[in-house]
Chains A and B, each alone.
Chain A
């Protein structure tokens, strides 16, 4: 099969993401294989959960490889999936020679990934051979699927078992285990916590095969769950192990033997458990006092707070309106007071939620250190990673988008910057290289530095190349800042070829683009022969801003209040002309007017008497935006606009104002620059 990606545009970032995720999945698979082989060596029994997990890893690996055109990788992952499927369904025994192939296969998968899209190389050839061997090993499918023991399972339970679950029942019975049926009745709207607790407790003592819901005695409010659990423990032992109230335990199948050498899952000593009674409570709280929160829930919460903040603004507006009418002035004053109270509480809430969005950088650093460990192993290069400031916190959204740029910089350091052991010895450096990552907060920003003790950057080489590419004038003696600019220019790289591990041909320019998109800065510093430091400076959070909503040409736009100086209502006669420009005399100074409708190609409203002008300013420059109407102030969570068009000129983002309608937020600095820049050029 020919690569169907040939000829299409490289999808660099998506591809890098793919590779890094595949590496993670492969890591999981490898660890799983190591565990399996350990169990196998000690003649133990494979943990069905582990085999299931591995099966799913192989399954997603297959799918992902397919969608990125890694065909050999996909094929091999497919065979690994088959093998694991056979293992989990009991068609292949753990002792079978086929299982030994798993180890080889994960290695081959890693090699294929490293080979990329190149065809007919060593790894592909090895893969074809391995695929054939796995197929051969699976070929005569083991026919022993366990005897059809007669089970004392009640109809409803037996009938709702899937094929896989049935296999697990048979397998456990074959191994002489007991089958217990646990029953509990829970509140139908909040059953999940209770059920999760019971399942967890049951898993401590055995394998949960099926979870069957049934209506409770009061079907509107109650739900009953029956858990089918296989365990080496008999009913009494199992029950005393469970520690969960309100659960009945029945043995539906007596095992053939007492657990003489009980499987590890039921043999594990109780981990320093608190005395019964406090057990449940204690298990709900973790030692550090933290809970994991689904990121989507956090986003939801953030959006809710955003909406509340917007409603608060509406209440404020109502209070002001009431206060301005003589009839309702007292009511208005009272409402205004309440509004202030609400305002304070909401601010607290906003702060708390923003705070909850903060995550420590440690999770990213953890990932980096895994990558370095792997590179060290795969490339045999001796590099130490030092990490400091992992507890520094950043907005979750920023952290998510930071993984790739950081990964890239670390790989660059590993691959290019740090010399071979030989070179290092000659330069009088310790043979072991070092990459140091540190993070710290500075005001409203977080600084992350990635420093290596490698060869540094050859400033002269950079300068030569920059001159070649016309980035610097030949006679210029560039400052460090100019050199950094050149280095970060699109497509600039100081090495002719970029090797596989350095980040697949993506240069620092992409890192810079990503960091800029987060509202951050990227900087470089180096000492020839001593090392390079890459610094990321990032805002701590993407916060809520106040905005003025205006109407222009039938559309609504939001203008960040921070850049609004004042709003004016002027008579059309007050508008003066200078060449094609419209001007206003604002307290003796000329103010250039900018028709937003015209700039945005929207229909212009025919003169309707007075003209609304929003005076905006950035730095020292001012500009009057002509709009059709003012709609009031709102608090807005400014969201980036995603999509194929990256640069939306004059638009900073979008926000949601009630309903599901998006409103564009103006990029005032771009608008001011446009007009003022044009004025200067003229």
Chain B
């Protein structure tokens, strides 16, 4: 089923009996899923994430950009998987990595998968702590999120999934 994450929430809100979680943080916060990619940290908006699954056989598809490594079938749904390393121009992953596929509620209700090296945590980040992306960052990175002494690159999933400029014939 394809349901954007927040609709899920709304639906749950309308049907659930129990009380929802109540967070103490008072600031307007965003939730981010931190993922690992070629030794660096990246972050995706949680509301776009449906689930995380282990790497499974991917069926190659002819005539797609190189960043689309193929399609997988998950509980009756078939969707494309984008290799985030290839998409961001990072070196290919070595085969020993226990990679994961982050399944996204896609644009227009279309599901898509993102192949990452690993997932780390879900962060709640007050909007104000996000830092602007460096001026020379690609359109895929919208902001930097401080995490300890490091920065996570916050990805704009619309830009990541916009593959028009990356056609590989």
Contact B72 A56 (CB under 8 A): no
Q: Does A664 contact B (CB under 8 A)?
A: yes
Contact with B along A161-191 (1 / 0, CB 8 A): 0101000000000000000000000000000
Report A642-667 CB contacts with B as 1/0, cut-off 8 Å: 11110011110111100111111000
Does A644 contact B57, Cβ atoms closer than 8 Å?
no
Report B124 CB to chain A, min CB distance, Å.
11
Taken together as a complex, chains A and B put the C-alpha atoms of A164 and B47 apart, in Å, by: 26
A28 at the interface (CB under 8 A from B): yes
Q: How far is the CA of A11 from the CA of B157 in the complex (A)?
A: 11
From B28, B45, B143, B159, residue with most partner A Cβ within 10 Å: B28
Q: Which of A25, A63, A601 has the most CB of B within 10 A?
A: A63
Q: Is the CB of B63 within 8 A of A650?
A: yes
Stretch at the interface among A1-9, A352-360, A384-392: A1-9
What is the interface residue range for chain B against chain A?
35 or more
B121 on the A face (CB < 8 A): no
Chain A: CB-nearest residue to B10: A60
Which of A71-79, A464-472, A625-633 has 4 or more CB atoms under 8 Å from chain B?
A71-79
Q: Which residues from 25 to 77 on chain B have a C-beta closer than 8 Å to any C-beta of chain A?
A: 28-30, 45, 47-48, 56-57, 59-65, 68, 71-77
Which single member of A88, A600, A642, A663 contacts B59 (CB below 8 Å)? A663
Question: What residues on B are CB-neighbors of A653 within 8 Å?
Answer: 78
**Is there an interface contact between B64 and A56, defined as CB atoms closer than 8 Å?**
no
Give the interface residue-count category, chain A.
35 or more
Chain B 77-118 near chain A by CB (<8 Å), digits 1 or 0: 111111000000000000000000000001111111100000
Q: Are A9 and B158 in contact, CB atoms less than 8 angstroms apart? A: yes
Q: Which of A94-124 contact B (CB under 8 A)?
A: none
Q: Of the candidates B17, B30, B80, which one forms a contact with A644 in the assembled complex, judged by CB atoms under 8 Å apart?
A: B80
Task: Report B135 CB to chain A, min CB distance, Å.
Answer: 13
Interface string of B134-169 (1 = CB under 8 A from A): 000000001100000000000010110111000000
Q: At the interface with chain B, which of A273-281, A295-303, A564-572, A615-623?
A: A295-303
The answer to whether B80 touches A25, judged by C-beta atoms less than 8 angstroms apart, is no
Interchain CA distance A656-B106 in the complex, whole Å: 21
In the complex, chain A residues whose CB is within 8 Å of the CB of B22: 85
Q: Which residues of B contact A662 (CB under 8 A)?
A: 59, 71-73, 78
10 of the cross-chain contacts (CB-CB < 8 Å) are A14-B107, A17-B4, A25-B10, A74-B28, A78-B28, A302-B76, A602-B62, A644-B107, A645-B61, A651-B62
Q: Which 10 residue pairs spanning A and B have beta carbons closest together?
A: A643-B80, A600-B62, A56-B13, A662-B73, A642-B79, A654-B78, A644-B161, A60-B9, A64-B6, A642-B110
Interface residues in chain A, defined as those with a beta carbon under 8 Å from any beta carbon in chain B: 1, 4, 8-9, 11, 13-14, 17-18, 21, 24-25, 28, 49, 52-53, 55-57, 59-61, 63-64, 66-67, 71, 74-75, 78, 85, 88, 162, 164, 295-296, 299-300, 302-303, 401, 555, 599-602, 637, 639-645, 648-651, 653-656, 659-664
- Other 10 A-B pairs with CB < 8 A, given A64-B6, A642-B78, A642-B110: A4-B142, A14-B108, A60-B12, A71-B127, A299-B76, A642-B2, A642-B106, A643-B81, A661-B73, A664-B71
